[in-house]
A and B are shown apart, each in its own frame.
Chain A
Amino acid sequence: MDDNRFDMGEIDVAWCPGCGNFAIWETLKETLSELGIAPEKLVLVSGIGQAAKMPHYVRANVFNGLHGRALPPATAIKAASPGLVVIAESGDGDMYGEGGNHFLHAIRRNPDITNIVHNNMVYGLTKGQASPTSRPGFTTPVQVDGVTGEPFNPLATAIAQNATFVARAFTGHRDQMKEILKAAISHRGYALVDIFQPCVSFNRLNTFQWFKKNTYPLEEGHDRGNRVEAFRRAIEKDPYPLGIFYVREGVPTFEEGLPPYGKSDLPLYRRVSDRKRLEALVESKRAN
Chain B
Amino acid sequence: MDFLKDGAKEGARDVTEKKDFSIVLCGEAGQGIQTVEQILTRILKKSGYHIFGTKEYMSRVRGGTNSTLIRVSSAPVAAPVDRIDLLLPLDDKALSHLDGRISAGTMVIGDPDVIKPRAGKGIFHPVPLVAMAEAAGGALYGNTTAAGVVAGLFDITREELDAFIGEFFGGMSGPVIENNRVAAEKGFDAGKELARSGKVTVPVKKDRRAAGDILLNGADAVGIGALAGGCDFLSAYPMSPSTAVMVFLAQHAREFGIVVEQAEDEIAAINMALGAWYAGARALVSTSGGGFALMEEGLSLAGMLESPLVVHLAQRPGPATGLPTRTGQEDLNLVLYAGHGEFPRCVYAPGSLEEAVSLTARAFNTADRHQVPVFVLTDQYFMDSYYNTAELPLDGLEAVRSVVETEPSYRRYAFMEDGVSPRGIPGFGRGLVVAGSDEHDEEGHITENLGLRARMVDKRLSKEKRLREEALPPVLHGDESCETLLIGWGSTDKIIQEALELIGRQKLSYLHFPQVYPLSPDAAVYLKKAKTVISIEGNATGQFAALAEKETGIPVTGKILRYDGLPFTVEELVERIGKIFKGEG
Residues of A within 8 A of B (CB): 14, 39-41, 43, 45, 48, 53, 55-56, 59-66, 69, 71-77, 79-81, 83-84, 101-102, 104-105, 258-260, 262, 264, 267-271, 273-275, 277-279, 281-283, 285-286, 288
Contact = CB atoms under 8 A, between A and B. Distances in A.
10 contacts: A69-B268, A76-B235, A76-B279, A77-B426, A81-B425, A102-B264, A268-B276, A268-B282, A269-B279, A282-B214
Interface string B219-260: 010001001101011010000000000000000111111111
Nearest to B389: A285
B461 to A, nearest CB: 21
B65 to A, nearest CB: 27
Contacts of A267: 279-280, 427
Contact of B271 (A41, A60, A66, A286): A66
Most chain A beta-carbon neighbours within 10 Å: one of B260, B297, B432:
B432
Contact of B224 (A83, A259, A262, A281): A281
B401 interface: yes
The A interface is mostly helix, strand or loop, or mixed, namely helix
A74 B278 CA distance: 10
Given A63-B435, A271-B257, A273-B227, A74 B275 contact: yes
B446 A56 contact: yes
Given A66-B301, A75-B272, A269 B280 contact: yes
Among A41, A73, A104, A269, the one with the most B-chain Cβ atoms within 10 Å of its Cβ is A73
Nearest to A8: B445
B427 A40 contact: yes
B377 interface: no
Contact of A63 (B233, B264, B278, B445): B278
A267 B175 CA distance: 48
B261 interface: yes
Interface in B439-488: 444-446
A45 B305 CA distance: 13
B227 to A, nearest CB: 5
Contacts, number: 202
B431 interface: yes
A39 B408 CA distance: 11
Given A81-B279, A281-B224, A286-B214, A62 B433 contact: yes
A69 B220 contact: no
B75 interface: no
B259 A288 contact: no
Interface in B253-300: 253-261, 263-265, 267-269, 271-276, 278-283, 297-298
B212 to A, nearest CB: 6
Nearest to B167: A287
Interface string B408-448: 00000000000000000111111111111110000011100
B216 interface: yes
A64 B273 contact: no
A83 B274 contact: no
A286 B398 CA distance: 22
Contacts of B214: 282-283, 285-286, 288
B502 interface: no
Contact of B268 (A55, A59, A102): A102
A197 B265 CA distance: 31
A101 B266 CA distance: 12
B436 A269 contact: no
B42 A64 contact: no
Of the candidates B230, B280, B305, B394, the one having the most CB atoms from chain A within 10 angstroms of its own CB is B280
Contacts of B301: 65-66
A260 B257 contact: yes
Most buried by B among A75, A83, A267, A269: A269
A274 B256 contact: yes
Contact of A69 (B235, B271, B432): B271
A282 B394 CA distance: 9
A220 B403 CA distance: 49
Given A61-B434, A64-B437, A262 B426 contact: no
A77 B275 contact: yes
A206 B381 CA distance: 58
A264 to B, nearest CB: 8
A274 B255 CA distance: 10
Contacts of A64: 434-438, 446
Contacts of A277: 255-256
Nearest to B446: A56
Contacts of A84: 279, 426-427
B551 interface: no
B434 A62 contact: yes
Contact of A80 (B254, B279, B298): B279
Contacts of B274: 65, 73, 76
A267 B255 CA distance: 17
Nearest to B426: A61
A288 B438 contact: no
Given A66-B297, A84-B427, A259-B253, A268 B212 contact: no
A5 B230 CA distance: 36
A164 to B, nearest CB: 18
Contacts of B252: 281
Contacts of A288: 42, 45, 214-216
Q: Kindly name the residue among B215, B273, B279, B297 whose own CB sees the greatest number of chain A CB atoms within 10 A.
A: B279
Interface string B379-423: 000000000000010100011010100000000000000000000
Contacts of B193: none
A30 B257 CA distance: 38
Contacts of B429: 40
B213 interface: yes
A163 to B, nearest CB: 16
A59 B425 contact: no
A45 B259 CA distance: 20
Given A262-B254, A288-B214, A76 B275 contact: yes
A56 B445 contact: yes
Nearest to A69: B271
Given A65-B275, A72-B269, 20 more contacts: A41-B426, A60-B432, A62-B432, A62-B435, A64-B438, A73-B271, A77-B279, A77-B426, A80-B275, A83-B427, A101-B264, A102-B264, A259-B260, A268-B279, A270-B280, A275-B398, A277-B255, A278-B228, A278-B394, A288-B216
Given A66-B301, A80-B280, A105-B264, A259 B426 contact: no
A48 B437 contact: yes
Nearest to A81: B279
Nearest to B431: A40
A282 B392 contact: yes
Contacts of B282: 268
Contacts of B235: 72, 76
B254 A81 contact: no
Given A81-B426, A281-B252, A258 B268 contact: no
A40 to B, nearest CB: 6
Interface in B18-62: 42, 45
Contact of A268 (B261, B281, B433): B281
Contacts of B45: 288
Given A40-B430, A76-B233, A282 B272 contact: no
A56 B232 CA distance: 29
B432 A81 contact: no
Contacts of A39: 432
A279 B275 contact: no
A269 B401 contact: yes
A102 to B, nearest CB: 6
User: Which of B233, B263, B445 has the most chain A CB atoms closer than 10 A to its own CB?
Assistant: B445
B275 A81 contact: no
